[in-house]
Every structure is written in C-alpha cells, then in structure tokens.
Amino acid sequence: MTDAARPVEQSVPAAAPASLRRIMVPIVVFAGLAIAPWIAQFGTESFILSLLTRVMVLGLAALSLDLLIGYAGLVSFGQAAFIGIGAYAVGILASHGINGIALQTAAALAASAIFAAITGAISLRTRGVYFIMITLAFGQMLFFLATSLAAYGGDDGMTLPSRSLFLGYDLLDSDRALYYVAFVTLGLVYLACRMLVASRFGRVLRGARQNPVRMQAIGFSPYRYQLVLYIIAGMIAALAGVLLANTSEFVSPATMSWQRSGDLIFMVVLGGMGSLHGAILGAIVFLLAEEVLAGFTEHWHIIFGPLLILCVLYIRGGITPLIERTRP
C-alpha cells in the first residue's frame, strides 16, 4: 500500500461521524421540543410553554428566511411583513366573528402569496444591497399601513377576543394543545422544506446562487425559481404569524417591524445558514438568551447586542456547523 492511499483510508471513518452529527442535530432539537411540556410540569408550566411556543413560532419564521438566504442567497429585510399578514388575518377575521383556524390560515396564506408574488416580482429584479433595501421598503410600507388601520387598533394593536377554534372546538385555549399544534406544524414544514431543497427545484436554486448566468444558459430561469421560493417563504412566515397571534392573543404593527426582520436574520446567521434546522436552533438560542438576560437587568439590550455580534464573529458559520465540526 502506498503512502498516497493512506489519507483516503483515514478520511473514510471520519466522514461517518460527521454525517451522523448532521442527522443527530435536528433529531435532538425536535426530541427536546417534544418532551419539553413534560419537563415543564416541574416548573412554571404556563410560562415555559408560552416561551417555547413562541420559540417554535419564530423558529418557523426563521426557517422561511433560511430558505431565501441559505439556498438562494437572497437576504430579505422584510420577512416580518409576512408574519404580520398572518397575524392580522387572524385578528381581523376574529373581530368579524370568523374564529375557525382553518379559514384564518387559508386567508393568511392567500394574502401572503399575493403580496409575495407582487413584491417578489419587483424585488427579484434587483440584487445585493438593492434587494435588501427594496424588501425593507415593502415591509415598512405594510407596517405603516397596519398603523393606519384605526378600526383594528392602529398603532396600539388589538387584543383577540379568544384563540382560534380548531374544528369548531376551543382546543387551543389549552397552552399544551397550542404548543403541540405549533410543534407539529414546525415539524411538517421542516420536512417539507427538507424535501424541497433536496429536489430538482432546490438544486436549481443552489446553482443559480453560485452562477445564475450558467443556469440561464442551460435552460433554467433563476428568476422564476426564485420567485416561487419567495412566495413559499412568505406563506411559511404567514403561517408563523397565525400561530403567533394565537400564542400572544394580541396583534400589533410591531409584529411586522424591520426590527423583527433583523431578529430573524440574526437567528438564521446564529444557527447556521443553509441547514434549515440551524434556523430553529438559532431561534432557540436567541430567545432563551434574551429571556435570561432580561431577568438580570432591564438594560439587557446593551449586553445582548454585543453578545450576538461576538457569536457571529467567532462562531464561524453558526452553531450548527460548529456542532457538526466538533470531534466526538
């Protein structure tokens, strides 16, 4: 056996643990979320369930943004606008006596798809910082529209009369039931997105991110694929908005502010771009760190901002790649 062959032999066993770690990260994340309600019984159950439900809801929104950033290279600063569309679909319909979550979700998905199709058709004709700025502009446009809706609380927002009805029953009034609805929704959307990015559609998007001219030359239209992805990401974020409205039982323009979009970008970068479960992990770390620091001081923002910047600078690629690189 030659010396040249030895490095190949040594790299084979190392590949298996790395591949296993890539599989284990989402398994551990979802297993932890699945058993969390049972652990919450030994603490302040209502608070813990509410916090973790919010974590999963924003994890769902971050996952939608990871589709754009991680697989298409599109940094949208207006993703929170779609969360607001979902939340306001619940609030507006509930104020008119339509409380069924199926109808509210259908309205949210339809409205977000239309808004994404219109804004995406314009935004995707730009690149780089211009794309970031135009998505920010569309998001802020929707934000100021929401503040002008005096009939629905205006800048102060509106309190929901009750949580949505599930199949005609008030099952979501239970914090645990709402938690598992959010958990199942997150799991199903994650699996659907995993299949999407592994399909031909996902391969075209990755190719367009690397070399759009070459993809155009071989017969694919990057613009069309990116527009479809933009619509899908918007609908997922709107679904998160439906769940967020039921979690907080309150809807306000702050839901779709540019600060919320910035939070989502931080979650994606912190967890690791282009892994999907990294966005969920980033949401978990982001919101739990926020909650812990808020318990120590009312000026927690002063600590939280620099801490996040340090994490982004020194944890190269995010938390998920760091875990996958760690040797057992």
pLDDT at 328: 53
Domain that holds residue 237: 26-36+46-325
Radius of gyration for the alpha carbons in the chain, expressed in angstroms and rounded:
21
Q: Which of 225, 317, 246 is nearest to 94 (CA)?
A: 246
pLDDT at 108: 97
Question: Does any domain span residue 7?
Answer: no
pLDDT at 83: 97
pLDDT at 282: 92
Is 181:101 a contact under the CB 8 Å cutoff? no
- pTM for this entry: 0.90
pLDDT at 170: 84
Is 85:111 a contact under the CB 8 Å cutoff? yes
pLDDT at 122: 95
Helix (H) or strand (E) holding 87: helix 80-95
Contacts made by residues 248-252, CB under 8 angstroms, sequence distance 24+: 248/54, 249/159, 249/160, 249/162, 249/163, 250/157, 250/158, 250/159, 250/160, 251/87, 251/88, 251/90, 251/91, 251/152, 251/153, 251/157, 251/158, 251/160, 252/146, 252/153, 252/155, 252/156, 252/157, 252/158
Tokens representing residue 205 in the block:
């998007």
Number of domains in the chain: 1
Task: Give the Cα-Cα-Cα angle 185, 188, 190 (nearest 5 degrees).
Answer: 105
Residue 54 belongs to domain with CATH number? 1.10.3470
Rounded to an integer, what distance in angstroms lies between the CA atom of residue 57 and that of residue 28? 18
Question: Does any domain span residue 108?
Answer: yes
Question: Does any domain span residue 160?
Answer: yes
Question: Does any domain span residue 18?
Answer: no
Tokens representing residue 13 in the block:
């066993």
Question: Does any domain span residue 20?
Answer: no
Per-residue pLDDT tens listing for the chain (328 residues): 444 444 444 444 454 465 666 788 889 999 999 998 888 777 677 888 999 999 999 999 999 999 999 999 999 999 999 999 999 999 999 999 899 999 999 999 999 999 999 999 999 999 889 999 999 999 999 999 999 999 898 899 999 988 998 887 888 888 899 999 999 999 999 999 999 999 999 999 999 888 888 888 888 889 999 999 999 999 999 999 999 999 999 999 999 999 999 999 999 999 889 889 999 999 999 999 888 888 887 777 788 778 878 877 777 788 888 887 765 5
